[in-house]
Amino acid sequence: MEDLYSLVDWSRAQFALTAMFHWLFVPLTLGLGLIICCMETLYYRSGDVRWKHITKFWANLFGVNFALGVATGIILEFQFGTNWSNYSWFVGDIFGAPLAIEGIMAFFMESTFIAIMFFGWNKVSKGVHLASTWLTVIGASISALWILVANAWMQYPTGMQFNPDTVRNEMVDFFAVLLSPVALNKFFHSVTAGWVLGAVFVIAVSAWFLWKKRETFLAEKSMKVAAWVGFAGILLVSYTGDGSAYQVAEKQPMKLAAMEGIYEGSNGQGLVAFGILNPAKKSYDDAEDPFLFKIEIPRLLSLLATRDADGYVAGIENIIDGGYPVKNAAGEWVTAPSANDRIVEGRAAIQALADYQAATKAGDVAAATDAALRLEQNYPSFGYGYVNDLAQLVPHVPLTFYSFHIMIILGGYFVVLFVVVLLFSYKKMLARYTWLLWVFMLSLPLGYICLEAGWIVAEVGRQPWVIQDIMPTFSAISRIETSAVQTTFWLFAVLFTVLVVAEVGIMLKQIKKGSELK
């Protein structure tokens, strides 16, 4: 068992490493792409050739980032077959469909029009080139859509049916998968977060130009466009973030409890605005106070999670023990089962599957029918049948809690940042305050920290599930040597670090070179 968890930990670490490096490139591609589209649209409408040079400057940085995003994304998808083959077998009919569509539709769309975007400036008309730029960026967003649909399905499996003959989950409703509320919310939240990062990036680079007293026209115009995109993005991020919290409260209550460090829930639950967790709190059921210190906004979490200021929000202990009111899939109020109840149901489902296979092999139709019925009744708790310790059902609370609150605090900071940039841009005062330019430049790493923190919340908070309630992470891995995963982990760590260093070096060289504006 210790070897198994070592393999699980290393497999998770390798996937997390790849995903987090990939997430360095994707949001910037989405955000910078939209800003470039806005700039080229201004060139098309105004005919001012200076906007053309501004667009080409930022497009060069977009291209470098785009290429590395594709490279890391391919490695990420291959890991489903190498490190997570049990998962791929169990749900490949569902999970593989969005990824296949992403490759066939979005990737080819991007690769077709990006060539015109970069090499067609003097070969096609202004209108055709503008359309190609927009289609490239739209293709990148569509690519993100299908990947996020696949990820959202893992967090809220829907539109499927388990086939006991093949021991696989099969898609029965494509549009239920595509249009699931979790998928749609996750897509808009992630894409608009990319707009925020793209805006912060452009503002930081433009601030450097103003500090150096170079490329003044480019810097001032770019900051204004970026600030409007970023401001729109952060407002939409806030709106979709509220939707995410509501979806998490309904479909992944353990994640919400970890995000807020709640062990004992209540009606009228407050939102922790700031808090320091108690490191002595080692288990969900010990007597230690969860917090050393916290500032709480009364009743706000209940309002956000249930749309009722007096609504009940369950804590970690409540979710383990059950017995609180909750809505079922039909929207009816029922009593939440305990984790032990669900473990019993999960093991009953596993046993029913074994009985079905034995009855089918023996040709006993009646017994097979009975086993199939028992399997269907207990299947919603299938994954619990593999859980041996209730503590396995609790995600890493400190990592989830602090990541969530870092994300929220930085989100508030970016609202202020974009308002300040817009205010000083229209008053033509950006270049007057050197200290403010430094604030803008130093905000760039905060953008990456914010987005990585959000990804940590989404993925760490749902542990131990690779598919919510259906498949725990330790059941999803490939049976390979731990040493092989360790070796590839360090190889990827070195490779990705080299790629990031190379990207930063190329971008810095391009930024120092500047635009073609004189």
Residue pair 146/56 in contact (Cβ under 8 Å)? The answer is no
Strand partners, 327: 333
**305 and 347 housed in the same domain:** no
* pLDDT over threshold 70, residue 360: yes
Summarize pLDDT for 371-421 with one digit per residue, the tens: 999 999 999 999 999 999 999 999 999 999 999 999 999 999 999 999 999
Q: What tokens appear for 139 in the block? A: 């293709």
- If asked whether residues 27 and 168 sit together in one domain, one would say yes
Local confidence band at 5 (pLDDT 50, 70, 90 cut-offs): low
Query: What does the block give as tokens for 123?
Result: 């070969």
322 vs 316: CA distance, rounded Å:
10
Q: How far is CA 180 from CA 100, 270, 327, 383, in A?
A: 19, 29, 18, 21
Share of the chain above pLDDT 90, in %: 72
* Mean pLDDT, residues 484-506: 92
Is the torsion defined by CA of 303, 308, 310, 314 positive or negative?
Answer: negative
What pLDDT does 209 receive?
A: 94
Domain annotation covers residue 376: yes
Which residue type does 220 have? E
Residue 1, token pair as written in the block: 């068992």
CA distance 153 to 165: 23
Q: Which pLDDT belongs to residue 109? A: 80
Mean pLDDT score, 193-202: 96
Residue 263 phi/psi, 5° resolution?
-105, -35
| pLDDT computed for residue 211 by the predictor | 93
Distance CA 142, CA 149 (A): 10
Q: How far apart are CA 351 and CA 467, in angstroms?
A: 20
At 130, is the pLDDT very low, low, confident or very high (cuts 50, 70, 90)? very high
Same domain, 325 and 351: no
Do 274 and 160 fall into the same domain? no
pTM score of the predicted model: 0.92
Say how far apart CA 447 and CA 78 lie, in whole Å.
28
* Domain membership of residue 356 as a residue range: 339-386
Q: Which pLDDT value is given to residue 107?
A: 72
Is residue 313 in some structural domain?
Answer: yes
Same domain for 198 and 276: no
- As a whole number of angstroms, the distance between CA 371 and CA 354 comes to 8
Q: Two tokens at 322?
A: 């059950």
Same domain, 399 and 431: yes
Residue 517 lies in a domain: no
Q: Are 181 and 242 members of one domain?
A: yes
Quote the pLDDT of residue 82: 84
Tens of pLDDT, residues 258-314? 999 999 999 999 999 999 999 999 888 888 899 999 999 999 999 999 999 999 999
Percentage of the chain beyond pLDDT 70 is 98
| pLDDT beyond 90 at 487 | yes
Residues 331 and 372 in one domain: no
Predicted confidence (pLDDT) at residue 3 exceeds the cutoff of 70: no
Count structural domains, the chain.
3
- Of 318, 351, 386, which residue is a domain's last? 386
Average pLDDT value over all residues in the chain: 91
pLDDT at residue 242, rounded to an integer: 92
Element (H, E) at 11: helix 2-46
Alpha carbons within 13 angstroms on the beta-carbon side of residue 427 total 11
10 and 157 housed in the same domain: yes
Identify the pLDDT of residue 505. Answer: 93
495-504 per-position pLDDT tens digit: 999 999 998 9
Q: Are residues 98 and 242 in the same domain?
A: yes
The answer to whether residue 11 is domain-embedded is: yes
Strand-pair partners of 297: 271
| 10 Cβ contact list (under 8 Å, min separation 6) | 482, 485, 486, 489
Shared domain check, 403 and 421: yes
Answer with the one of 335, 359, 374 that is the final residue of a domain: 335
Residue carrying the six token digits 């990148």: 140
The answer, yes or no, to whether residue 333 has pLDDT greater than 90, is no
